[in-house]
Amino acid sequence: MKPGSIYLDNCVSSPMAPEVLDAMLPYFSEKFWFPGSFISTGESTNDALAGFSQIVAKSMGATPEEIHFTSGGTLANNIAIKGLAASLKRGHVIVSVVDYPDLLTNAAWLEKQGFEVSYLSADSKARIDLDQLKAELRPDTVLFMTTAVNHVVGTIQPLKEIHDILAGAGHKIYFHVDAGQAYGKMPLDVNDYGIDTMSVSAHKIHGPQGIGALYLRKGTKLGQIIHGVKRVDGLQTGGLSIALIAGFAKAVELGFADLDGSIKQLRELSDYLLTRLKEKIEYIELNGAEGMGRAPHNINISIDYIEGEAITMMLDMHGITVATGSACASQGLKANYVLMAIGKNHVQSHGSMKFTINRYNTKAELDFAVEKLAEITAELRKRSPLYNAFKKQET
């Protein structure tokens, strides 16, 4: 089979919807213009951008003026966090040890700028410790950052409870959310959760790569971190692809037309996958939260006695793309920091597999993937001294 025939690594990127490409094509050719005033080409682009902003804003309960297009979720995170830092100058920041690398690397940068940073622990399901959050709040706490859906195990963080804790602090604490794995996978109303800044990305919801957005609550002040001429947005100066923005808006339009139905479909597929895995393979364990506590597209399991890297390569030979325990941790073979933080050991981390589903996946594809995974697992366990020793003890 050709590479990626069965694609189950949608945490990283998802296939672009055909309708998205159709929506983009005019802006690659006859409508290539940037926004402008007093001339028809520029005004036409202004009108188009206003419509695109409205679509994205509606998906999260925002206003169009609060939507700022960026070249991706990572840049949206950087603009928000560094922009808040430039505005606040100093103070205390809270993040968790299981957050996405964007947040953790920015937290390290904040420490170098003179901010104090506290790192919350997480439980065995990767939920952050809310009691520790309460205990860490100080009069000089200015920012709390979280990843709405954990990028490794799919656990949904309790955003409403977090908001209530922050609101009860007695002073303003900015609330930044990385929603890369949550957007389009769960209802996300920025007003319900009291979110001040939030990053989203198009290519995680069947949109194009290279475009995302930052939600910035009206009245929230950011320092300028990117300088230059304004073409599309004042926060990310310079040119942004209007075609990619058009594709982003179309992906949002498609994904949010029936969000409940989309979530139900993804959850049915992922639950089916987990059931089949448990039926076909012994000695596996679900990592992260169960049921409604996890995002509908994410199944992360540890397969005892074998290495996930070997499984990944062998599945790839069958055209099946999945992620393993070192994904998002490094390009090497280091154990994933999230799995280690929630109590897994190095063997469990390296033996972990992450399957993330998209709306185009089918049960037939999942059956084939599980069948091949079962065959590979059986073959690798034959060669595993750990497994053979375990089986001898068992008998």
Residue 264 in tokens: 């139900």
Find the catalytic residue in 21, 328, 347, 374. 328
Nearest to 181 by CA among 217, 158, 149: 149
Taking the C-alpha atoms of residue 103 and residue 301, their distance in angstroms, rounded to an integer, is: 25
Residue 45 in tokens: 């682009």
Residue 52 is which amino acid? Answer: F
DSSP secondary structure, 327-383, as one string: TTT-SSSPPPHHHHHTT--HHHHHTEEEEE--TT--HHHHHHHHHHHHHHHHHHHHT
Cβ pair 223, 85 in contact under 8 A: yes
Cβ pair 52, 20 in contact under 8 A: no
Residue 342 is which amino acid? Answer: I
**Cβ neighbours of residue 352 closer than 8 Å, sequence gap 6 or more:** 287, 300, 301, 302, 303, 308, 324, 325, 336, 339, 344
- Tokens 């930052």 locate to 214
Cβ pair 218, 63 in contact under 8 A: yes
Residue 387 in tokens: 């497994």
328 is catalytic: yes
Residue 164 in tokens: 């209530």
* Residues catalogued as catalytic: 328
